[in-house]
């Protein structure tokens, strides 16, 4: 087995090639009784996990064991999460690359380039039952009837906040209005701001959608029709402008996906939206501040309490893969071992097949490293408030392209900084998204 680090060119630059080109491949059912060839190689591309212990388990234990059992040389390339879209686009443009590629949000624009994952889902369902709705909404296109990806897991995105600072003002961040009001009080008193990104990166994209959805605003309706230009979107934009002006600082305009982690662990933010990698990093590196970081459910807005997954693990198998059968089998076998994966991720990766971790609520109810030990129990009902990109519809190709172009990130940042009014910003976003929606409707994808 080989573990490699690599870099790579912009999904946006080659998206036309990525979606127009295509090599047909016939993919039939696979069977566990059929051994893979002794000469097999399986190449996997995925991110460098935010909880390093997971990569240690996956790369040096699980993959090594699976490769030996299946007479397969497994090559794992771990890269920075921001490089995955451009690397995937380059592989599609070249029509060669990895057998398995893991995206961190639904890669719907590549539907014509990937193997249908229905057989993988069906095989897993035999043992574990149906996947959670979040997985289906993130990997299935009801228009074409194709599973363009397979999701093994998702990562909850709770509120991480400083219990000491919020305790001093006798508040908790239960609602978005609490975040604004309490965040302003803390900033005025201590100079410590709220840390929610407003830049061209993954965490911002998830956070802005969480706010939108909680205000009753959406990019689309249940059937995929564009609905971004609404009074609810305008209200969400007004709220983010107020939050930025009253409780934040301009540095969030240049954040990357790990900035909120760093800021919170350095004691420079009173609240961030992030996975539990923040507190796990503090625990694993013995930073005293981790004892002051508490977790809360996704904040409630005027319409509902709802949050996005922090990342949505979505594996694809390219049609030009050299080992389609091996890639399919790897995913099924991985789900059979997901109970171990969940623990190796230190509760970061939540199962899309709930029955793979039947004791999940008990596991997160108490933790030897956490202070207090029940810190992670807030995640017990995560499926009650976590949703998919594109809610209330499916994560279709138009949603994916707008997500990858950071259309909503830009809309919110322009309003927050006073560059555009909420009404002008949403009108401009709508115009850009209309062109995206028209393109994918013409191609029969939505």
Nearest C-alpha neighbor of 111 from the set 147, 142, 83:
147
Ramachandran assignment for 406, one of left (phi > 0), alpha (psi -120 to 50 degrees), beta (any other): left
C-alpha pair distances (Å), 395 with each of 66, 294, 319 = 31, 31, 21
- Confidence band for 39, pLDDT divided at 50, 70 and 90: low
Structure tokens at 267: 């004691």
pLDDT digits (tens, 9 = 90+) for 210-260: 999 999 999 999 999 999 999 999 999 999 999 999 999 999 999 999 999
pLDDT digits (tens, 9 = 90+) for 47-84: 999 999 999 999 999 999 999 999 999 999 999 999 99
Structure tokens at 166: 């919020």
Angle value at C-alpha 82, between 76 and 85, nearest 5 degrees:
75
Other C-beta atoms closer than 10 Å to the C-beta of 241 total: 19
The answer, yes or no, to whether residue 11 has pLDDT greater than 70, is no
The answer, yes or no, to whether residue 13 has pLDDT greater than 50, is no
- Relative to beta strand 40-47, strand 100-103 is parallel
Weakest-pLDDT range from 9-18, 217-226, 386-395, 422-431: 9-18
C-alpha pair distances (Å), 161 with each of 152, 179, 180, 241 = 28, 10, 13, 21
CA 338 to chain centroid:
18
For range 370-394, the mean pLDDT: 96
Nearest C-alpha neighbor of 343 from the set 328, 333, 356:
356
């Amino acid at each position: 087995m080989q573990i490699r680090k690599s870099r790579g060119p912009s999904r946006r630059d080659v998206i036309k090639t990525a979606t127009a080109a295509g090599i047909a491949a016939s993919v039939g059912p696979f069977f566990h009784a059929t051994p893979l060839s002794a000469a097999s190689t399986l190449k996997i591309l995925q991110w460098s996990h935010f909880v390093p212990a997971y990569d240690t388990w996956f790369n040096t234990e699980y993959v090594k064991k699976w490769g030996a059992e299946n007479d397969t040389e497994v090559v794992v390339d771990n890269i920075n999460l921001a490089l995955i879209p451009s690397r995937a686009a380059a592989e599609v443009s070249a029509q060669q690359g990895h057998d398995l590629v893991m995206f961190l949000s639904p890669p719907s624009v590549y539907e014509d380039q990937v193997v249908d994952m229905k057989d993988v889902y069906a095989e897993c369902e035999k043992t574990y039952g149906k996947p959670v709705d979040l997985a289906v909404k993130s990997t299935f296109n009801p228009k074409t009837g194709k599973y363009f990806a397979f999701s093994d897991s998702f990562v909850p995105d709770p509120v991480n906040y400083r219990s000491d600072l919020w305790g001093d003002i006798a508040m908790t961040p239960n609602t978005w209005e609490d975040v604004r009001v309490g965040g302003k009080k803390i900033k005025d008193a201590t100079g410590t701001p709220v840390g929610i990104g407003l830049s061209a990166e993954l965490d911002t994209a998830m956070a802005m959608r969480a706010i939108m959805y909680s205000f009753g605003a959406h990019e689309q309706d249940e059937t995929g029709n564009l609905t971004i230009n609404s009074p609810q979107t305008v209200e969400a934009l007004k709220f983010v402008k107020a939050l930025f002006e009253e409780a934040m600082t301009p540095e969030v305009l240049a954040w990357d996906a790990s900035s909120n982690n760093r800021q919170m662990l350095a004691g420079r933010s009173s609240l961030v939206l992030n996975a539990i990698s923040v507190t796990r990093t503090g625990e694993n590196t013995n930073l005293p501040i981790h004892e002051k970081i508490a977790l809360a459910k996704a904040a409630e807005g005027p319409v509902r309490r709802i949050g996005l997954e922090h990342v949505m693990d979505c594996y694809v198998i390219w049609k030009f893969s050299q080992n389609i059968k091996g890639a399919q089998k790897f995913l099924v076998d991985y789900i059979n071992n997901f109970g171990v994966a969940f623990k190796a991720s230190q509760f970061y990766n939540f199962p899309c097949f709930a029955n793979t971790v039947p004791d999940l609520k008990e596991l997160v109810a108490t933790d030897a490293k956490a202070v207090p030990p029940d810190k992670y129990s807030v995640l017990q009902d995560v499926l009650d408030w976590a949703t998919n990109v594109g809610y209330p519809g499916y994560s279709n190709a138009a949603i994916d392209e707008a997500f990858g172009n950071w259309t909503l990130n830009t809309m919110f940042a322009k309003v927050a900084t006073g560059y555009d009014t909420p009404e002008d910003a949403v009108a401009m976003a709508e115009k850009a998204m209309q062109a995206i929606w028209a393109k994918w409707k013409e191609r029969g994808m939505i």
